[in-house]
Amino acid sequence: MVNALKRSASPSVTVQSSHSTKKLRIIDDFAKTSPFPDFRRPSPEEAWEVHKILAQLHPNTKSFRDTSPPKGNSAQTCGHAPNVIEALIGTILSQNTSGKNSSRAKSNLDAVFGRNNFASIATAPLDSVIEAIRSGGLANKKAATIQSLLHSIHAKHGEYSLQHLSASEESGSRMSDEAIMKELVFYKGVGPKTASCVLLFCIGRDSFAVDTHVYRLSKMLGWVPQSADRVRAQAHLDLKIPSEVKYGLHVLMIKHGRVCKGCSGRGSEDSCMLKSYIRTRDESLC
């Protein structure tokens, strides 16, 4: 039966390079300069004001970096895990599904192959990885992405490890945020948002990841042009939002985007303190 299953194949260096060139160019272009240089929002004061409002609305949401061991697996915690590859896999599994489904998929992946047994996952028949993560949705695509990621890491570094990305300053080999982002987005299937989540939750750097909720609320707040796509919105906001508030604001905006019917983006007339803040802010500028 195993022999009949489809085996995974390592991607070629040429294919890998073609997928990463565009992402690397975006990081190079917008590392220091916003894609919207004339767009002044958000100011540091606005970022802190919104953080304060959302912290009051969601007092049970931890809006500070938690240094204690993570509760739940890396799919449930947006990549909060000490192992960088595990954080990447967890973030990939969390895409386009609920936290419950992605957590179940990660737990099953660990049960089938062993936690962080990346060699076993990389060399397994693709169908067995698909079956292990099926509960997370888009299993065919995510399984192929995970195996491609592992093959590429091993081809580049000779081992299944990216722990050099989390090296401390005391070790003398601490990498810059930009260098870590470039390393992560080099891999097929890892975009700026996924890389930013790993940078923020796993490696402990100040980075502002933009998911669907953050993107929608940022447009509602007038923090990015309406024409901005998610990648350029993230590049702009990562430069504009003060480092000290990036973690908390990201977490709180996701929480608010998930639960607030007034900010659902579906023409809801429900009340919302964030909407009231926007009206008051705009009226004061008239």
Active site residues: 193
Q: Is 224 left (phi over 0), alpha (psi -120 to 50) or beta?
A: beta
Task: Give the Cα separation of 84 and 76 in Å (integer).
Answer: 15
Interacting residues of 80 by C-beta distance below 8 A, sequence separation 6+: 66, 70, 74, 87, 201, 202
Residue 33 is encoded by which pair of tokens?
């300069």
Task: Give the Cα separation of 88 and 141 in Å (integer).
Answer: 15
Distance of CA 141 to the CA centre of its chain: 17
Cβ-contact 70, 115 below 8 angstroms: no
Distance of CA 242 to the CA centre of its chain: 18
Interacting residues of 157 by C-beta distance below 8 A, sequence separation 6+: 164
Single-letter amino acid code for the residue at 235? A
3-class SS shares of the chain: helix, strand, coil, % to 5: 60, 0, 40
Q: Which of 214, 221, 186 is nearest to 200 (CA)?
A: 214
